[in-house]
Amino acid sequence: MRPAAFLAAAALLCLPARAELPEDHRTLRRTTSYDEMKRFLEGVDGKGPVSVSVEGTSTKGRSLYLVRLSHGGTPAWKLFLYAQQHGDELSGKDALLYLIRDVARDPALLPRDVEVWAMPMVNPDGAEAGTRENGAGADLNRDHMTLDQPETQAVHRVARRVRPDVAVDCHEFSRDSDSWKRRGWEKWPDITMDGLDTPLFDPGLVAAARRWVDESAAVEEAAGHRFLRYWVGGAPPDDEQRPSAPDVDGGLNAIGAYGGLSFIIEAAVRHGSQDPSADLGNRVDAYLALLRRFVAGGSRRADDLAAIAAARKRPLPPFLPTNYLWVNPGPQVTGFPVIEVATGRTLTIPTPNLMTTMAVKRSVPTPLGYSVAPPAAPVFAALLTRHGIPFETVTAPRPARVESVKLLRVEEEFDDLYERYGGRAVTSRGEPVGGDLPAGSLWVPLRGETALRASLLLEPLSLYGLYRYPRYRALVGADGVLPVRRVVALPGAAPPGRPR
Ligand SMILES: [Zn+2]
């Protein structure tokens, strides 16, 4: 046998391609590959409330599948569930496939007034290669601000079209991280979850999401799993623990900026010490308990819908937070559960380093809108289009009072806890001056439902703004002036943030 043919035959023997999912998800010992998922989805398309479409193409040409579960009519509760942005985080994808399979078999599992949109494999290239990154080497869950990758662009197109009441971003975290292992511990939960948390979001929406998180502990306990709110950080008691980053370059907050409840779920996997598929069925089971509850609508769906409607109508507040972080106001000492690996016992470690509260360190007055200088206009026009944010190209000079912002430096220190927060932009705000918005510049008003997203994306004084990305830093002038200016007065403009 020629080597290539031998290898192909061996691969077939080792990994029999599955036509169907194993009947009981709890017995799953191997994740579903791209080809298996493709065949599975082709098989369920058209069965009961299931319809399958392709939303886009990955950097390496694989299809980005989108599945709709709907009985037709106008839904009262819409979900958008997306998984495997990180190609090596498996169980959310498998859980979504079982959710789809079950509804295809028994349509009554989907309430009449609920519509589910699912993208089980956002990153098929990373899934096939077993990498966190996509086919272009990009971490998709750090791409939601610039939307450079076709996979994240597809996620945002769906979010804008569907306007989900609930969005869920499915991940996995390492149960056996190094700093914990050194102490002889593993992380305690099987599964974790957190809700949207950028401080500019409507407090009622943030509180509604947090209620889902708090109520999930009992849901998982009933299903036989250990649940905690999502915490990231080193081992207690010394190292800081914080919830998910409040940035908008991840799916949690970027999709939350469309005005629905938004969540991240992370199931615990042993990446280093054993085959990550060994307890895959258990992780899928933990996932399904939470996903089924989202489909059912939770305990207070009417309250959630009222909070979502109010958040979408809310004008921008008079000040925009530009620098914020998680803190422990106290310090409060919290018992943090860990598993002692040697004995399997659960220990409770008192720690004062659990960050529970979002503190805003600095805010700036909300401008009327932003003006983008003509040389940067093409790059920003493309960016705003990818985000669905309306803008106007100025054809004749228009009088305005504007504030320029100078970039003093970008700090690149590596921070163990925040890690990705390299790229803090230290800026200074100039005095407002009278002048013109020049012809060829872009005018981005902070009006209507897109005002929130425009301010999160464009505010030049944001500590973690666009200028940590080389492509946008290249647009900063030699004098340090940023291409986006804050427009504080404009004859004939509506007050900031007022919905039309
Ligand atoms: Zn992840």
Per-residue model confidence as pLDDT tens digits over 140-178:
999 999 999 999 999 999 999 999 999 999 999 999 998
Structure token digits, residue 188? 């305690």
Is the C-alpha dihedral spanning 248, 250, 252, 257 positive or negative?
positive
pLDDT at 370: 98
Q: Measured in angstroms, how far is the CA atom of residue 401 from the centroid of ligand 1?
A: 43
In this structure, the number of other CB atoms found within 10 A of the CB of residue 160 comes to: 14
**CA–CA distance, 141 with 232 (Å, rounded to integer):** 15
Where does the pLDDT of residue 273 fall: very low under 50, low under 70, confident under 90, or very high at 90 and above? low
From the list 339, 359, 362, the residue with the least C-alpha distance to 349 is 339
Per-residue pLDDT for 399 more than 70? yes
| DSSP-based three-state secondary structure for 195 | strand
Q: Measured in angstroms, how far is the CA atom of residue 323 from the centroid of ligand 1?
A: 24
Where does the pLDDT of residue 6 fall: very low under 50, low under 70, confident under 90, or very high at 90 and above? very low
Structure token digits, residue 375? 């040389």
Residues of the chain with CATH 3.40.630.10: 19-318
pLDDT at 8: 43
Compute the average pLDDT of residues 197-219: 97
Q: Among all chains, which residue has been given the structure tokens 């590596």?
A: 414
Q: Measured in angstroms, how far is the CA atom of residue 384 from the centroid of ligand 1?
A: 26
In this structure, the number of other CB atoms found within 10 A of the CB of residue 280 comes to: 24
Q: Measured in angstroms, how far is the CA atom of residue 372 from the centroid of ligand 1?
A: 33
Structure token digits, residue 416? 């163990």
Q: Where are the beta strands (DSSP E) in 70-211?
A: 77-83, 114-119, 166-174, 185-187, 191-195
Please say whether the beta carbons of 169 and 95 come within 8 A: no
Q: Measured in angstroms, how far is the CA atom of residue 173 from the centroid of ligand 1?
A: 7
Q: Among all chains, which residue has been given the structure tokens 């080809």?
A: 35
| DSSP-based three-state secondary structure for 277 | coil
Q: Measured in angstroms, how far is the CA atom of residue 265 from the centroid of ligand 1?
A: 9
Please say whether the beta carbons of 76 and 113 come within 8 A: yes
Give the containing element (helix H, strand E) for 383. helix 377-387
Q: Measured in angstroms, how far is the CA atom of residue 446 from the centroid of ligand 1?
A: 32
Q: Among all chains, which residue has been given the structure tokens 């691969």?
A: 11
**CA–CA distance, 155 with 119 (Å, rounded to integer):** 8
Where does the pLDDT of residue 13 fall: very low under 50, low under 70, confident under 90, or very high at 90 and above? very low
Q: Measured in angstroms, how far is the CA atom of residue 269 from the centroid of ligand 1?
A: 11
If phi > 0 it is left, if psi is from -120 to 50 it is alpha, else beta; for residue 308 that is alpha
**Pairing status of strand 50-57 against strand 227-229:** unpaired
Q: Among all chains, which residue has been given the structure tokens 């609920």?
A: 114
CATH of range 19-318; options 3.40.109.10, 3.40.1360.10, 3.40.50.2300, 3.40.630.10: 3.40.630.10
Q: Measured in angstroms, how far is the CA atom of residue 385 from the centroid of ligand 1?
A: 26
Distance spanning both ends of the chain, measured CA to CA: 71
Beta bridge partners of 305: none
Q: Measured in angstroms, how far is the CA atom of residue 489 from the centroid of ligand 1?
A: 42
Tell me: the pLDDT tens digits for 73-132?
999 999 999 999 999 999 999 999 999 999 999 999 999 999 999 999 999 999 999 999
Structure token digits, residue 265? 């779920």
Per-residue pLDDT for 248 more than 50? yes
pLDDT at 192: 98
Q: How many residues are given for the chain?
A: 500
Q: Measured in angstroms, how far is the CA atom of residue 86 from the centroid of ligand 1?
A: 5
Structure token digits, residue 367? 């401008």
Share of the chain above pLDDT 90, in %: 84
Using only C-alpha atoms, the chain has a radius of gyration, in whole angstroms, of 24
Share of the chain above pLDDT 70, in %: 93
How many alpha carbons fall within 13 Å on the CB side of residue 305? 12
pLDDT at 183: 96
